[in-house]
Structure 1
Amino acid sequence: QVQGTQAEPYQVELWLDTFTEEEWGYVIETLSQQAIFSAKLLAGEMPYNIEDVFAKNGLRLFPFNLDEVHSRCSCPDPANPCKHIGAVYYMLGDRFSEDPFVLFQLRGRLKEEIIAKLRHIRGSGEVKKDSKTSQVSPSIKGYQPPVVSGYWQYNQQLESSLVVISPPPGSETVLDVLGPIPLGTTATAADVVMQYLDTIYKNVSDRAVLMGLNRESEG
């Protein structure tokens, strides 16, 4: 609803063409094939080159012109877009800046649905590697299987866009999750210890973030 000069607000509708179940299936499968896309989406971030995934499947997530955006308004102005539709465009622009996943919803899928499907695919081992990312078959001469003892070691430089260093999203710490410490003494003593540990924990957390950011800037 958009309030104009009249007493009653005008009814504005705005929508994009949604993708079919099959088209979304292709898109999500393509997203699951590259760790960078899955990592960012599972972390609640929109990859900057997300449009490449849709283009690979013959689709476009972002509308490139007004012909791809459908709208109508109940006002008497014959122009489309009218000023009321234009006002919604501005508000949508701000909304996209706050939450770019709204575009997924306009195309027919909620962010939660896409993330759940990605988790299912990557967790169940259904990821299909394309020709560029497929691993060497064990039957090829010279293939060396991974060493179990070095599973947690990684000596190569990580892709910078894959590493995101940021402060914790909330103020809750592991101490809040664990609850009160059963000291077996007075409640006051337990509170003092918890407050002291909480101060240490937050200082260490802040220091770790600063060290990480410094290393990132140096790299």
Structure 2
Amino acid sequence: MMHYGYPKYITVAEKRAKAEKKLAALKKKNPGIQPVVIEGQALAKTWWGKAWNKNLERYADYANRIGRGRSYVRHSAVLDLQVQPGKVLGLVMGSTASPYRVTVTIKPIPQNQWQQIKDQCKGKMESIKQLMAGKFPKALEELFTRKDKGLFPSPKEIELDCSCPDRAVMCKHVAAVLYGIGARLDQDPGLFFVLRKAKVNDLVSETVKETKKDLLNRSKKKSSRVIDEESPNLSDMFGIDLDMDGSEPLPPAVPKSPGKASRKPVKPKAGKSRPGRPKAHISAGTGRKTASPKIKNAAGIETLFKRRTKRHTTAAEVIEKSDMAPQKVRNILSGLLRKGKIERVSRGVYKWVRPEPL
């Protein structure tokens, strides 16, 4: 309705109510719809969300128009936002009865630029978990956000499209989706690498390898503690496997001293088993001793800890006794740690803390 040649003023509450009503109708048809919800005044709260918004606002092409989307995204007008490799699809509620369709297409990060970033990251990250928390050395922060050469896209790498009649390159609906991407990165920073078609496991695993190599060079012995606690958490966060594919095998736990003959193993006394070795079982058919069966699931790992209530158990020991992949074992240990069934004595060393029910 027009009043004196101008559209009727619609209050914020009316806009929000209209968006919520439309969202409820869309959810009935598409339960997988993902609206952007902003809590509080800040459009982004984490380093990744803030860095995304700051990157867009510093370009003159966007600085004067992107602000038009702030009120839209704050008032829950972005009814759906789907992040795909190299593309973001959005539905934004405007003045019409049906939401406008927005498409943001982003070019993949150039391979030579990505390789440069990976090379400069080596040896500079104290903890790989800091990557997602946005806590890393200032040098890396500047590297990631470097204008036109960092991880974040420039306007020439972004294509914008909206179904609304506004002929501007960046309408209110497109601007709202761009801010919505920043809010979504707050929830899942890994989506940034999906959007730029960059393999985050390349960056992370190379950093892990460098850290592992450095630690092993200094210790000259196998360390089950290396990235033992960091890998499961990062795997959960990204849904990737950091099991060092293609890496060389670790050296023996205790390297032999040159020029010294190895000591003969001490034969254990009858009826006693040596600590650290699996207990032998008597085969009913042959009467011969056989090694303990391998652990095949999470329940088996729990049983191992329950039997050792007074002893510590290392991650390496569990992996050795298991028939599962090392990464799966680490993930199970991480789960038991979160549930409070085991506690970390030191890096890579655990003990059972929950007594068996009576």
TM range, smaller chain: 0.3 to 0.5
TM norm structure 2: 0.32
Which entry has the higher C-alpha Rg, 1 or 2? 2
More RCO (CA 8 Å, sep 6+)? 1
Kindly indicate which of the two structures has a greater share of residues assigned to strand: 2
Larger proportion of helix: 1
